[in-house]
Amino acid sequence: MPGCFPLIDDPWFYVTAVIAVLILGIAKGGLAGGIGLVAVPLMSLTVAPARAAAILLPILMLMDAVALRPYWGQWDRRNLVTTVPGALLGTGIGFATFELLSPDDLRVMVGAIALVFALRWWLVRRERPARLASFGRGTLWSTLAGFTSFSVHAGGPPLHIYLLSQRLDKTTFQATTVAFFFGMNWLKLGPYAWLGQLDGSNLATSLVLAPLAPVGIVLGARLHRRIDETIFFRVVYASLVVLGIQLIRDGLSGRL
């Protein structure tokens, strides 16, 4: 496939893409706490956000298949049930509005999501009572997750806000997140193809980057058992602040 379709030839794209795919793999493999949000903002520094999302979708699906096995059956079933309606609704909204959003609009949106989520993590540190899964809250947050996941694979923050409020243990949290996005990414496949996002060039680029997927998964699984999550997340969320500001600036500049 790479020989039949033109690949992206910007070396800086591959610098950002390699880092992005590894981070996604780490998030899928064991550290789901929003770090995968870095991927599209990082790649959007060198390609349009919509193209970054298209290149990443097949890689995400491969990661989902690999990551699902070690967490099989450890997810919270009620949380998955309460998020199905919202996932469907959010995907429909993302599909319906996809062509209404320009690359600069998407840059501002991705940058805002990254910045708000990172600042929320840094600034809101107080403990709250655990909440139970519910269809109302599950539908609300999963609709947002479905929309942002469809647009720029940034569905993690809304879903995590919903799950984190329940104080799940880290393995149940990880397994539920992996299972949700396994279904979410398969749900996006048809609409992405319909919109022409899965063209030969994007698929060829995905194929070149795909070998990095299991590497990230293995790293994530090891980190899940060993790393001090507090230090790791501080570094990642600090990078989200920087990326968010950069993308908002680029998007607003492009619209002026």
| 222-233 tens-digit pLDDT | 776 676 656 666
Range of the domain at 117: 11-255
Domain count, the chain: 1
- pLDDT tens readout for residues 19-72: 989 888 887 776 655 566 778 878 888 888 888 889 999 998 998 888 888 889
Residue 158 banded pLDDT, cuts 50, 70, 90: confident
Lowest mean pLDDT among 52-61, 92-101, 180-189, 241-250: 241-250
Residue 43 lies in a domain: yes
Residue 3 lies in a domain: no
Q: What is the pTM of this model?
A: 0.77
Residue 1 lies in a domain: no
Residue 176 lies in a domain: yes
Mean pLDDT of the chain: 81
Residue 207 banded pLDDT, cuts 50, 70, 90: very high
CA distance from start to end of the chain: 39
Query: Cβ contacts of residue 35 below 8 Å, gap of 6+?
Result: 23, 26, 27, 232, 233, 236
Type of residue at 89? L
Checking phi first, is residue 31 left (phi over 0); if not, alpha (psi -120 to 50) or beta?
A: beta
CB 217 within 8 A of CB 66: yes
Does the pLDDT of residue 243 top 80, yes or no? no
Residue 211 lies in a domain: yes
Round to whole Å and give the CA distance between 24 and 13. Answer: 16
Q: Give the pLDDT of residue 4.
A: 58
Does the pLDDT of residue 86 top 60, yes or no? yes
Residue 256 banded pLDDT, cuts 50, 70, 90: low
Residue 5 lies in a domain: no
Residue 90 lies in a domain: yes
Residue 4 lies in a domain: no
Residue 1 banded pLDDT, cuts 50, 70, 90: very low
